[in-house]
A and B are shown apart, each in its own frame.
Chain A
Amino acid sequence: MRENYTYVVLADDDEDDRLFFTEAFDELKMKTKVDIYKDGVDLMNALNQSESTLPNILFLDLNMPMKSGLECLTEIKSNPRFKDIAIAIYSTSASEEDIEDTFVSGANIYIKKPNDFKVLKKILSDVVTMNWQYHTSGLNKDNFLLRL
């Protein structure tokens, strides 16, 4: 049977951000399953397990110790097994340079972390909905760029 939910994974070293993130998803009306990793190393270890279920959308914090979001992104993009994962950068930075660099490196979505919980919920809902459209309507994922 086709699974009718979106599987979401976040890697973020900030505990508060992780908490807000899971809470925001709890309140969305779309069906989602959320897994959280505390840093890039944990995340990549989990993804690289050959039997791991791959997320539909992966949210990466840019600034993480040991392995940054950008390093994870580059690793993920060089592995064909991960080609169907939509990558969302989830960062405090809003520098145009960061944004464009991550898009060029293969990110699909760039989210500037909002301070307001309501705004966060709206953003995450937009991301999941938009990803769902790409997923279910056969749109070209190579052209999937979204900045929020």
Chain B
Amino acid sequence: MKIFIKFDFTQICTRVIDEKLEELGIKYRMLNFGEIEFLEDVPSDKLKAFDLILREYGIEKIENQKVILVQKIKDTIIEMVLNTDDTVNVKSSVYLSEKLGHSYGYLSNVFSEVTYTSIENFIILQRIEHAKSLMINTDLSLTEIAFRLQYSSVAHLSTQFKNTTGITPTTFQRIIAKRRALSDNKN
């Protein structure tokens, strides 16, 4: 004998998750499909059990803890670069690890793994990008920009700019000015 069946994956998955969470006594809410919000703190052994049970059904929790941490690191760096008023006089490594509550070694490993670049390089890139936007959008001189971004000298800013982008700040400004002139002519 042969029979034919049809099934609805969404319904199956939702049902499994419903039942298992209930069994474990976890209060939750289904947001979108694939997104579950726990309504109270779930002890880690229960989370682990939930994880294991779901695996039996081929359902897996997305491990994006690292991605989330990297985003926090990036946000903190950007805040650090932009916030030049009250001088953060600690080393960035100390600042990051205090602010995020992990050792710098750990942060730095996770960061490289996810972004393919180092925290140090990312900080330099952010400072240079900030310098670029100041060059384009303000009348500040290079000296003032260097001072604002806490470079020890204009030479230091220029060297780092050249090392990062391959061109000098002056060339950069000239290219952007020419681009603007070109697009003004077209309009």
Contact = CB atoms under 8 A, between A and B. Distances in A.
Interface string B112-139: 0001110000100110010011001000
A136 interface: yes
Interface stretch (A7-15, A49-57, A61-69, A140-148): A140-148
Interface stretch (A38-46, A98-106, A114-122): A98-106
Contact of B115 (A110, A136, A147): A136
A133 B172 contact: no
B179 A106 contact: yes
A104 B179 contact: yes
Contacts of A129: 116-117
Q: Interface centre among B74, B122, B167, by most A CB within 10 Å?
A: B167
Contacts of A130: 125
B165 interface: yes
Interface in A66-108: 100, 103-106
Nearest to B175: A103
A101 B167 CA distance: 14
Nearest to A104: B178
Contacts of B179: 103-104, 106
A49 to B, nearest CB: 26
Interface string B164-186: 01110001101110110010000
B165 A133 contact: no
Contacts of B182: 104-105
A145 B125 contact: no
A122 B179 CA distance: 29
Q: Is the interface of B mostly helix, strand, loop or mixed?
A: helix
A55 B171 CA distance: 28
A130 B126 CA distance: 12
Contacts of A140: 129, 132-133
A100 B171 contact: yes
A104 B175 contact: yes
B68 to A, nearest CB: 14
Contacts of B136: 143
Contacts of A147: 165-167
A132 B129 CA distance: 15
A33 to B, nearest CB: 16
Given A143-B136, A145-B167, A133 B175 contact: no
B129 A139 contact: yes
Interface string A9-39: 0000000000000000000011000000000
Nearest to A132: B116
A46 B54 CA distance: 44
Contacts of A104: 175, 178-179, 182
8 contacts: A103-B179, A104-B179, A129-B117, A133-B125, A139-B125, A145-B172, A146-B165, A146-B166
Closest 3 CB pairs of A and B: A147-B166, A104-B178, A143-B132
Interface of A: 29-30, 100, 103-106, 110, 129-130, 132-133, 136-137, 139-140, 143, 145-148
Interface of B: 74, 115-117, 122, 125-126, 129, 132-133, 136, 165-167, 171-172, 174-176, 178-179, 182
